């Protein structure tokens, strides 16, 4: 099997879970508060599957980014709906939760409940849906563009003055200013990531991020996945979106050098106008590096990205790796659940991350002395 054929699984971390995708579907596995696993699956219907032009080089990168953003937000909403359902059904924790785990579940449920409309008769929050998905996506994109794209371009004037420069007249100054802008952009990104990593539930998401990478690394390098093989592999991966951010910074420096250093208003417009082509170029670099992982050039390109990933990944524990394996097994026919793994609850993911099942679950019954042992295998399997 060639490198081009072999590497087509990817994913991301969500609150108390992992999303994995293949060429035809994606699945999100989430560990409920009682230790059981729920796996949601959704068939892909992307632009690249429907239109030939969406597979063109430089175009496919932006299409892939849009698809990944949509899938990622749907998966996050799905994990929020699971937390909301756990709360509504009165499920009890099967073990003492860490501060990060407890905070992640509280935030997921509270965020889902606060943003969703309520049933007029029962005053119960409905599940997160497609409207919430887009209401979440657009403000987040606007904040990201303002913080990581426009702010660094403006901040250079604070330190170096507001002088203008052209490529033909003062290329050296243009280069220095763009290099300085790239440095500010990198510092803003590193500062942001370092800041949020201090939050307990974000650190836990980073651990699930490491579980996702380790599981994919184990599969790509050995062809099989168990908890032991995944834990033996690195939580870093060259196709990670974290590496993409770093490549974007480098590509922006090069491209912007050819645009000179015009007045602030024009500079900000140019930064917005070049977002799409720069993202397309950066995607091609990451795409190539991911398909040629053994080459010297690939290692040079991926090296800084792998270092940056050390900020966004943490070493996962066994339970987190188990969740990642559940997600990968749902979309990879080559992967079977290891011996000792219990069958998860399987549902579909609706548009916007809704939980879709044939029959709605009954509210959880109050735990009794006879009922407690039924949860023991889930906890024991992680020991």
Domain that holds residue 97: 13-380
Quote the pLDDT of residue 116: 55
pLDDT tens for 61-110 read 999 888 888 898 889 889 989 988 988 888 877 766 776 776 676 666 65
- % residues pLDDT > 90 (the chain): 52
pLDDT reported for residue 374: 30
> What is the Cα 235 distance to its own chain's centre?
14
Q: Residue 1: inside a domain, yes or no?
A: no
What 3 state SS string does 129-181 have? Answer: CHHHHHHHHHHHHHHHHHHHHHHHHHHHHHHHCCCCECCCCCHHHHHHHHHHH
Q: What distance lies between CA 189 and its chain's CA centroid? A: 16
Average pLDDT score over residue span 155-168: 89
The answer to whether position 5 is within a domain reads no
Lowest mean pLDDT among 24-33, 102-111, 183-192, 373-382: 373-382
Give the pLDDT score at 306.
82
- 218: in domain: yes
2 is a domain residue: no
Is the pLDDT at 377 greater than 70? The verdict is: no
Per-residue pLDDT at 351 exceeds 90: no
**pLDDT band of 292, cuts 50, 70, 90:** confident
From the list 354, 136, 105, 346, the residue with the least C-alpha distance to 205 is 105
pLDDT at 117 over 70: no
The answer to whether residues 29 and 39 touch, using CB atoms and an 8 Å cutoff, is yes
Mean pLDDT lowest among 168-172, 288-292, 327-331: 288-292
Read off the pLDDT of residues 323-349 as tens digits, 9 standing for 90 and up: 999 999 999 999 999 999 999 999 999
Q: What is the pTM of this model?
A: 0.83
Residue 262 lies in a domain: yes
* 243: pLDDT strictly greater than 50: yes
Cα(285)–Cα(282) distance, rounded to whole angstroms?
Answer: 5
Residue 362 CB neighbour total at 10 angstroms? 7
Percentage, residues of the chain above pLDDT 70: 80
Q: Please report whether residue 153 resides in a domain.
A: yes
- The reply to whether 8 falls in a domain is no
The mean of the pLDDT values for the chain is 83
Q: How many domains does the chain have?
A: 1
Q: What is the mean pLDDT of residues 284-298?
A: 74
pLDDT band at 127 (very low <50, low <70, confident <90, very high): low
Residue 6 falls inside a structural domain:
no
């Amino acid at each position: 099997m060639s490198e081009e054929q072999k590497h087509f699984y990817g994913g991301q971390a969500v609150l108390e879970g992992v999303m994995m995708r293949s060429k035809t579907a994606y699945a999100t596995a989430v560990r409920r508060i009682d230790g059981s696993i729920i796996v949601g699956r959704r068939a892909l219907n992307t632009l690249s599957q429907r239109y030939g032009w969406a597979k063109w080089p430089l175009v496919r990168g932006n299409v892939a980014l849009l698809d990944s953003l949509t899938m990622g937000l749907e998966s996050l909403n799905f994990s929020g709906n699971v937390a909301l359902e756990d709360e509504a059904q009165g499920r009890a924790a099967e073990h003492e939760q860490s501060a990060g785990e407890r905070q992640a579940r509280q935030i997921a449920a509270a965020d889902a409940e606060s943003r969703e409309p309520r049933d007029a008769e029962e005053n119960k929050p409905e599940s997160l849906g497609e409207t919430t998905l887009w209401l979440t996506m657009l403000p987040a994109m606007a904040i990201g563009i303002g913080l990581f794209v426009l702010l660094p371009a403006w901040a250079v004037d604070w330190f170096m003055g507001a002088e203008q420069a052209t490529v033909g007249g003062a290329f050296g100054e243009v280069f220095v200013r763009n290099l300085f802008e790239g440095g500010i952009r990198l510092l803003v990104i590193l500062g942001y990531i370092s800041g949020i990593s201090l939050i307990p539930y974000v650190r836990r998401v980073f651990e699930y991020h490491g579980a996702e990478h380790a599981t994919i690394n184990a599969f790509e390098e050995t062809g099989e996945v168990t908890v032991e093989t995944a834990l033996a592999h690195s939580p870093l991966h060259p196709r990670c979106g974290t590496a993409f951010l770093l490549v974007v910074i480098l590509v922006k420096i090069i491209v912007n050098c050819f645009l000179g250093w015009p007045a602030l208003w024009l500079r900000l417009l140019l930064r917005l106008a070049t977002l799409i082509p720069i993202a397309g170029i950066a995607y091609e670099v990451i795409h190539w590096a991911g398909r040629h992982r053994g080459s010297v050039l690939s290692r040079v390109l991926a090296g800084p990205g792998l270092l940056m990933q050390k900020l966004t990944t943490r070493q996962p524990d066994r339970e987190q790796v188990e969740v990642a394996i559940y997600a990968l097994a749902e979309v990879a026919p080559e992967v079977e659940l290891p011996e000792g793994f219990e069958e998860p609850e399987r549902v579909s993911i609706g548009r916007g991350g809704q939980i879709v099942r044939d029959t709605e679950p009954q509210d959880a019954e109050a735990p009794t002395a006879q009922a407690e042992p039924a949860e023991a295998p889930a906890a024991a399997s992680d020991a």
